[in-house]
Amino acid sequence: MIGGRALTRDQAGIVSADVEWEAPVQVILDEDESQSYVSLIVSQVLDQVELSDEAAEALREWRGSLESGSEPLQAFTDALNDSLGNTIDEELSRQVRRRDYYRRT
């Protein structure tokens, strides 16, 4: 048992857990979290990638345009949440299909 769940082994020797499916995970970032994410990624790019001065300045300006409460930050947050949700849904569907627990009709 792992975490109170029984492990079983099928004829092919594949181990699986006796897992009950619950509601899918939902991750929703707020504006502050999105702004922190952008700051982190842009800082990493500026530090680790060779960019022209114009490109680096354009990135800094874009990051600066995403101020708290601004319309561009709200639009970015919405797009990021949509993209993140779609990625989680696709990965979950892929894992489920891979394990043959579920077949789409």
Q: pLDDT digit string (tens) for 37-68?
A: 999 999 999 999 999 999 999 999 999 999 99
Task: Note whether residue 68 is domain-resident.
Answer: yes
Task: Note whether residue 12 is domain-resident.
Answer: no
**Given this model, what pLDDT does residue 22 score?**
55
**Given this model, what pLDDT does residue 98 score?**
57
The reported pTM is: 0.62
Task: Note whether residue 85 is domain-resident.
Answer: yes
Task: Note whether residue 13 is domain-resident.
Answer: no
Question: CB count, 10 Å around CB of 64?
Answer: 9
Task: Note whether residue 93 is domain-resident.
Answer: yes
How many Å apart are CA 86 and CA 93, to the nearest integer? 10
Task: Note whether residue 48 is domain-resident.
Answer: yes
Count up the domains in the chain and report the number: 1
Task: Note whether residue 53 is domain-resident.
Answer: yes
Tell me which residue of 84, 82, 36 sits closest to 63, measured CA to CA.
36
Residue 32 belongs to what domain range?
24-98
Task: Note whether residue 105 is domain-resident.
Answer: no
Report which of residues 66 and 19 the model is more confident about. 66
Instruction: Examine the pLDDT at 71 and tell me if it is beyond 90.
Output: yes
Cβ partners under 8 Å of residue 92, min gap 6: 24, 25
